Structure 1
């Protein structure tokens, strides 16, 4: 029987996905815990999370849109109570069973932290040291922890193929794990219940950071009964064990440490960086997954006061503290390194989710998990609003609001704000910071900090006794002076650079710079209005005349694309107008000071401190100021984004057919193209000419380089995917069918003959010199 399990396991790994999952489910459910199950578990993990060019399961490529059947199969097998976790819980019956995870497979930041011995208490009972060097070399993990680590690492691992990450299986599973192991409802237990597991030892309580009592002595410890097992007179003994929440603790700590790792490098570790990290920067799918994590932890932590006696109360309190510090450094790194394109909205939305916990007091990730059910629902729409209860959170995370804002604003100083996507991004930013109470609280905190600038690094206790703050720092009738020391400490703790000096936003010194920023928005508004007028005039001219009417009747013009561009252009002035008012209120500017400007606004960007603060080169700035009319698509013509006048399904199907034919007959196509006889002319009428395409690729230092690729002569069927072509083919078939009772085969034969005659005629004319080659 033992040999039979191993044989069945290795055999089923070669099956197609459907048969593989059925066979694995049978093996897991029908086998009792044994040494063989323990042996196949790490091999199964490696098979699931193998890279996409090997025999992995494709969690980041299988999506709801591309292959719904495989998507459902993967979800059902790997869901929190599916066969995979049933196997984990079977193996947990042996509390001594551990699997080693090398530290070298962890993100560099976490790896270096563990090697230096400055790791969180969560890892203390997991570290495995080398007997000779006494250095930490691996983590000894139980089956559940081993699976969660590998699942989290799969997102940050290098993936050579672009994944369909918008609705992929990995993203759905990440949402499921968060909702199951970190339930927003304090009374919802994590199922199944594991009462007898004793593989987790008690650990010291984590350090409280942001809201700990201020003292000149060492930081105090959290009183968290469920995390460390510390006794509490008011908590029943059965609620004190760590074993009741250890799965939630693992998911929380691992997801934050792995997904929010910051892969920074310098002259000392660049060699190690290049060796271990092919894809150093975060991918869009990773940023989107981190955002879901942030939103859910906000929802998870919001319930920590609802039932103080619940088992996970301490974990809920600790979760947001742990997340905010890591998210600040992660977002700060992303803002500094993300490319200057519209995809930056992913990073910005992540940041806006971090600084708006009041929007996610309920389970807010359902619409991310099930996007097809929430297409008409506005993202993050809740009735919760900012009130006095979030003042402490704002103070504890003061740098997340102000320091990152000063990194984000310079990006917009070098972007074309008349672009629809850029205008929407800036509008979202202004709308968030124009919420009632937010800027007044931030402005008051900043004012109190800079007024007592001489004591910026003084002890927090002395700041509480500052009479000036007691009398002056208030907002809306509420005394806020007690939060100043918290905000000051957050600045010093989150910005650990020894030469860090906070640069205020709401000062007279920055008023001119703020005015320049709002003027740039106003100039972009004028430019967008002018551009809208020109576009409307050009479209009106295109629809005039007999030939234009004829093309319109034949559906030869991509009107859908033009109409979409016109609709976006109409929205841009409205977005910029609202944004201008938002930032005028945020910076406390008088709108009467916004005099009409030249839409280009060259001098504004030149002399703005926002522009001078950036690390962008002046050449990039100059290129982005003006609208280049010579921008062309440099990639593979067959991989251009599908236009609205094309059939998505047909274009993709024709591309697959053409790709297969090119793969099989590539040599024949090349030889035909190079011939100078009649058949060479025929081939040049049918095939696409050789060309050189360019694409951008990041190297290990996160610099984008242009990579060139030579495409040989090849077959392209892209033109057959237009809706106009399909329409006239159908019309022709109906005509022959009604009047001549022609069959479909005969109609296809007629089309082929007509096409062949056209190609042969053109090839003959070019061969004889009648037409130009």
Structure 2
């Protein structure tokens, strides 16, 4: 048995271990915490939490939001196992619950809207016994949390760090939508504590009742609300302990004394209090983040995490009717909590999000919230058996659609101008519009929205208003009057707006069709000039050219845009015949000259979008002509006709050769004799590589000069390998040796290269 560490050295030992590399750090901490007493764990616990999430230090912390399987599979697995539901860290958090240990967190770490909610007393009963009030100033200074809640609050707050603005790795993850440890843990925690199935078991099992503490008195009078908060109503049965009672102060808390609580209710509260904590902390911290006033926007990985929260709450709430256990009340309350904040949150997010293809993450978040029928036990089982399953919108969802009507209609109207300014020569932007069109092309949904909008008075009861609408409509006395003054989605005004929008989409589609025709003509003309033999050999030995790849991508655009036009015309009763009138108009009437031809950025230096109200797709297309990216062909994404393993191995070998003989290769390439001509046939030509770098909403071009270099990537092509296999098989059959076939192929290739070097010096 290993000797115990003296108490006075335990903290120093932990601080030393926290400097180790990730895998070694996790391994040492596991052994260290196994040997610690509860008192020692209580001492080191907050220091470890602060280090994990970079509180008052490096914002990256342990790198939960930058570690992916691609960046390091060993580190990824070590962190996943350590922080997982049955991992060492969760066991430590629950071990400290038996001692009723409390840890304070300063309210300055919380989002401003949440602090305001707590200070004004407009908070659910959940927070009643968590508030620490300064006796001198009578102001809220901190929250007193148990070990589980202390970790969970820091975990949720970590997602708000704008890491993409300070770390290049986080920026890459932001753009590629990689799966980080943080996103994995978000999904795991929510699936566990907000389970879909009523009979699901919440891990780790926690049965002790020692963590139940006596209820604290309610906050001082200055923190009491003047009345019941309008945005949330907590059922009396819920407050009285049917679910989790007092929230986070322990497995119970609340306003019922332990003496009057039955053993069965106590056991139920022991089971559900963690679910209540997770629901409140994730919803209050993330959905109360003030996206309209904060200087930096969190990254798109955080928006994806919020979408995971929204989907899981839909799953959680959908089982309320089937759950007759202790989580039933919490399931019914979950959607009410989200509903009160989602509109202001989405509106602020859309207002400030950059106008590029990353807008898709915001669109997916909104579409997930407004389609609860996609997240039920029935749809989950149906998706397993059929990927094409489309759930029906039944009358059971009428109440949800009615309650969230402005989230459907006003957010759609807010998004429409943004979609009108996207560049639809980009296939990803077309797919984004297609997602929107398919959702609102569902006739069942459109019929309900039309019917409810006619019946609805515009009352916004239950919603927080975004700042932009508060400032715009602050002269309207009642809140319901504010919303009733907004245009309706199916009004005549909106139908005209939709017709103008679809006119722009139709114009963009015709422009893409002309571009497809032009590219095809250019490729055919180039092939005609090169001749049949060179084209045949080029197709056999080389990947498609950049023009051919571009043509393949652009060719998919017109059909996607046509489907979008069909869906939206049918939903908003727009006559498609009116959309073709621009074909008879002169070009200068369709799109005036670009006013931003010399500007390389669509965005200003702030996080807000510049004034692009006068831009149309033609403007954006002309402006984008200065933003063309040039990528090294050896670094293009792996194609479907390539073997992934070979591409990576051959790339490694090519890099080693290029780094070692970089000067010699460039020197041979520049020679004007036959050796130089031969080298130019074998090596990739020098180029200036250009790529886009997006920070704080700006789109800038970065450049790097690339010299002549070896690229063995064509050898990973399935077509090349097929030719090699055919030669070897034929040689084995007719000549008795497969190697002879390989030799013949190499000889033919060298002869071709020599011929090309002679003809094209």
TM-score normalised by L of structure 2? 0.72
In structure 2, the CA distance between the partners of 1:155 and 1:493, relative to structure 1 (3 Å rule), is: closer
Cα deviation for residue 391 of structure 1 reads 1.2
The answer to whether the 8 Å contact 2:190/2:312 transfers is: yes
Q: Deviations over 1:395-416 (max 9, x none)?
A: 1111110110001111222223
The answer to whether the 8 Å contact 2:317/2:332 transfers is: yes
The answer to whether the 8 Å contact 2:424/2:508 transfers is: yes
Partner of 1:330: 345
In structure 2, the CA distance between the partners of 1:437 and 1:695, relative to structure 1 (3 Å rule), is: closer
- 2:186 aligns with one of 174, 177, 188: 174
Distance 2:274 2:492 in 1: 51
Partner of 1:299: 315
Partner of 1:356: 371
Cα deviation for residue 440 of structure 1 reads 2.3
Partner of 1:597: 582
Cα deviation for residue 32 of structure 1 reads 5.7
The answer to whether the 8 Å contact 1:63/1:169 transfers is: yes
2:211 is aligned with 1:198:
yes
Distance 1:486 1:620 in 2: 32
Partner of 1:420: 427
Distance 1:649 1:573 in 2: 34
Partner of 2:271: 244
Pairing 1:8-27 to 2, within 5 Å after superposition: 9-10=14-15, 12-27=17-32
2:78 is aligned with 1:73:
yes
In structure 2, the CA distance between the partners of 1:586 and 1:491, relative to structure 1 (3 Å rule), is: farther
Distance 1:62 1:418 in 2: 33
2:253 is aligned with 1:253:
no
2:176 is aligned with 1:152:
no
Paired residue secondary structure (1:139): strand
In structure 2, the CA distance between the partners of 1:67 and 1:508, relative to structure 1 (3 Å rule), is: same
Pairing 1:249-648 to 2, within 5 Å after superposition: 249-264=276-291, 273=294, 280-307=296-323, 309-362=324-377, 377=387, 381=389, 383=391, 385-447=392-454, 473=455, 484=456, 487-489=459-461, 496-497=470-471, 498-499=474-475, 500=482, 501-541=485-525, 543-544=527-528, 545-558=531-544, 562=548, 565-566=551-552, 569-570=555-556, 572-598=557-583, 615-618=611-614, 623-624=619-620, 626=622, 631-633=627-629
The answer to whether the 8 Å contact 2:453/2:488 transfers is: yes
Partner of 2:225: none
Cα deviation for residue 358 of structure 1 reads 0.9
Distance 1:348 1:569 in 2: 24
Q: Deviations over 1:157-201 (max 9, x none)?
A: 225123375222221111111111111122334231233143566
Q: Deviations over 1:230-280 (max 9, x none)?
A: 78xxx97733764432211111122223333434455xxxxxx55xxxxx2
Distance 2:332 2:368 in 1: 18
Partner of 2:223: none
In structure 2, the CA distance between the partners of 1:25 and 1:486, relative to structure 1 (3 Å rule), is: farther
Q: Deviations over 1:285-311 (max 9, x none)?
A: 11211111111100101111223x421
In structure 2, the CA distance between the partners of 1:376 and 1:420, relative to structure 1 (3 Å rule), is: farther
Q: Deviations over 1:625-678 (max 9, x none)?
A: 558555421789987656678776677678889999999999x99xx9xxxxxx
Paired residue secondary structure (1:137): strand
Distance 2:705 2:504 in 1: 43
Partner of 1:102: 106
Paired residue secondary structure (1:101): strand
The answer to whether the 8 Å contact 1:414/1:605 transfers is: no
Q: Which moved more, 1:237-246 or 1:149-158?
A: 237-246
Distance 1:67 1:216 in 2: 48
In structure 2, the CA distance between the partners of 1:179 and 1:511, relative to structure 1 (3 Å rule), is: closer
In structure 2, the CA distance between the partners of 1:724 and 1:508, relative to structure 1 (3 Å rule), is: closer
Distance 1:533 1:689 in 2: 30
Q: Which moved more, 1:353-362 or 1:120-129?
A: 120-129
Q: Please list every run of 5 or more consecutive structure 1 residues that lacks an aligned counterpart in the other structure.
A: 206-214, 267-272, 275-279, 368-372, 448-472, 474-483, 607-612, 673-680, 763-770
Cα deviation for residue 59 of structure 1 reads 2.2
Q: Which moved more, 1:413-422 or 1:77-86?
A: 413-422
In structure 2, the CA distance between the partners of 1:73 and 1:376, relative to structure 1 (3 Å rule), is: farther
Cα deviation for residue 69 of structure 1 reads 3.9
Partner of 1:470: none
Distance 1:655 1:35 in 2: 54
Paired residue secondary structure (2:207): coil
The answer to whether the 8 Å contact 2:343/2:464 transfers is: no
Q: Which moved more, 1:298-307 or 1:45-54?
A: 45-54
In structure 2, the CA distance between the partners of 1:715 and 1:560, relative to structure 1 (3 Å rule), is: closer
Distance 1:649 1:352 in 2: 37
Cα deviation for residue 38 of structure 1 reads 1.5
The answer to whether the 8 Å contact 1:165/1:285 transfers is: yes
Q: Deviations over 1:303-359 (max 9, x none)?
A: 11223x421122111111112333322222222222222222221111111101111
In structure 2, the CA distance between the partners of 1:706 and 1:436, relative to structure 1 (3 Å rule), is: closer
In structure 2, the CA distance between the partners of 1:354 and 1:431, relative to structure 1 (3 Å rule), is: same
The answer to whether the 8 Å contact 2:340/2:463 transfers is: no
Cα deviation for residue 394 of structure 1 reads 0.9
2:140 is aligned with 1:140:
no
Q: Please list every run of 5 or more consecutive structure 2 residues that lacks an aligned counterpart in the other structure.
A: 219-227, 247-253, 476-481, 593-608, 668-675
In structure 2, the CA distance between the partners of 1:237 and 1:562, relative to structure 1 (3 Å rule), is: farther
The answer to whether the 8 Å contact 1:129/1:136 transfers is: yes
Partner of 2:42: 38
Partner of 1:458: none
Paired residue secondary structure (1:437): helix
TM-score normalised by L of structure 1? 0.71
Paired residue secondary structure (2:159): helix
Cα deviation for residue 623 of structure 1 reads 2.4
Paired residue secondary structure (2:434): helix
Distance 1:237 1:514 in 2: 60
In structure 2, the CA distance between the partners of 1:118 and 1:317, relative to structure 1 (3 Å rule), is: same
Cα deviation for residue 136 of structure 1 reads 3.0
Distance 1:143 1:512 in 2: 57
